[in-house]
Amino acid sequence: MSIDEVVATLEDGMTIGIGGWGPRRKPMALVRAILRSDLKDLTIVSWGGADVGLLARAGKIRKVVYAFVSLDSIPLEPNFQRARQNATIPEVVELDEGMFQTGLKAAAERLPFLPMRAGLGSDVLVNNPWIKTVTSPYDDGAGHEELVAVPALKLDVALVHLNRADVHGNATYLGPDPYFDDLFAMAADRTYLSVEQIVDTAGLTVDTPVQRVLLNRMMVTGVVETPNGAHFTNCVPDYERDERFQKAYAAAAGGSDEDWAAFEERFLPGDEAASQAAVAAFAEETSR
């Protein structure tokens, strides 16, 4: 599929899970395509980075479910910080990282919830009173334990980015961490996968352990070849995070409305090819 074909399948009000982790291996080309679209009122579920920040700044988000929204070297994503301070996201759900993972697991297993201890005694339950607790039906000798009933994070669509895939949707990661992209895929009705390169099926395991094949074709609805499609997040070993660009992004996001408008005009114009060309020009300028 193409980037635009993927976005054309999305609808207002959908719940969209975005894979990756903070500023690491995010499907940014797909995120940028959503920015260019007329989509609105989205529920975004993410271990968030610039994906959440950009969509929040564009007014695309009705509800966000997250464990954090960070750029790592910049602890709090600045566009998200602005949105939270100005209360421009109508509904926010902040979960413990383990609760977030458990919610995806419940959805992947088609369960309404899964029990766990994380969240007990914390303000997660104070700020989200709709999250219930359950009593274990088993007596382990210390009584029937109270546990958090973490609700399933059911997704209409998951968007993830990996290093390599074949045309069928079998896909591999080559970096040190799979993150939770497989859980996003299994928790979703449909999954769209962007990759740095599409190869033949046999090529997926050339010089690569078969355990690195994270997604199989049954999890994936469509595949898009998008070289540099995770920029400015990383996609190791293909490329590291673009720190210089990230600093420019953060400066514009934390600056005036005019600063942000100039950033958008330069780096988020037209289609993905135009964005990539602007990034390349920026890289050449800042390397002199």
Q: What is the tens place of the pLDDT at every residue in 98-113?
A: 999 999 999 999 999 9
If asked whether residues 162 and 230 sit together in one domain, one would say: yes
Residue 228 lies in domain: 3-95+153-241
The CATH number given to whatever domain includes residue 232 is 3.40.1080.10
Residue 247 placed within a domain: no
If asked whether residues 64 and 139 sit together in one domain, one would say: no
If asked whether residues 74 and 161 sit together in one domain, one would say: yes
If asked whether residues 184 and 219 sit together in one domain, one would say: yes
Residue 206 placed within a domain: yes
Report whether pLDDT(209) > 80: no
Residue 248 placed within a domain: no
Residue type, 37: S
Of the pLDDT bands very low, low, confident and very high (cuts 50, 70, 90), residue 140 is confident
Residue 232 placed within a domain: yes
Q: Which residue has the higher pLDDT, 46 or 209?
A: 46
Q: Tell which residue, 32, 62, 19, has the closest CA to residue 214.
A: 19
If asked whether residues 11 and 84 sit together in one domain, one would say: yes
Which residues does 142 contact at the CB level (< 8 Å), separation at least 6?
Answer: none
What per-residue confidence (pLDDT) applies to 210? 74
CA angle 176, 18, 129 (to 5 degrees): 110
What per-residue confidence (pLDDT) applies to 80? 98
Overall pTM > 0.75:
yes
Report whether pLDDT(61) > 80: yes
If asked whether residues 137 and 162 sit together in one domain, one would say: no
If asked whether residues 164 and 66 sit together in one domain, one would say: yes
27 contacts 229 by C-beta, under 8 angstroms? yes
The mean pLDDT value of the chain amounts to: 96
If asked whether residues 141 and 178 sit together in one domain, one would say: no
If asked whether residues 18 and 123 sit together in one domain, one would say: no
If asked whether residues 79 and 160 sit together in one domain, one would say: yes
DSSP annotation of 21 = B
What per-residue confidence (pLDDT) applies to 205? 85
Residue 90 placed within a domain: yes
Calculate mean pLDDT across residues 179-184.
98
Residue 203 placed within a domain: yes
If asked whether residues 190 and 132 sit together in one domain, one would say: no
If asked whether residues 135 and 168 sit together in one domain, one would say: no
Residue 159 placed within a domain: yes
* Distance, C-alpha 122 to centroid of its chain: 25
Model confidence pLDDT, tens digit, residues 234-244: 999 999 999 99
Q: Exposed e or buried b for every residue in 79-103, given b needs 16+ CB within 10 A? A: bbbbbbeeeebeebbbbbeebbbbb
What per-residue confidence (pLDDT) applies to 207? 77
Q: How many domains does the chain have?
A: 2
Residue 140 placed within a domain: yes
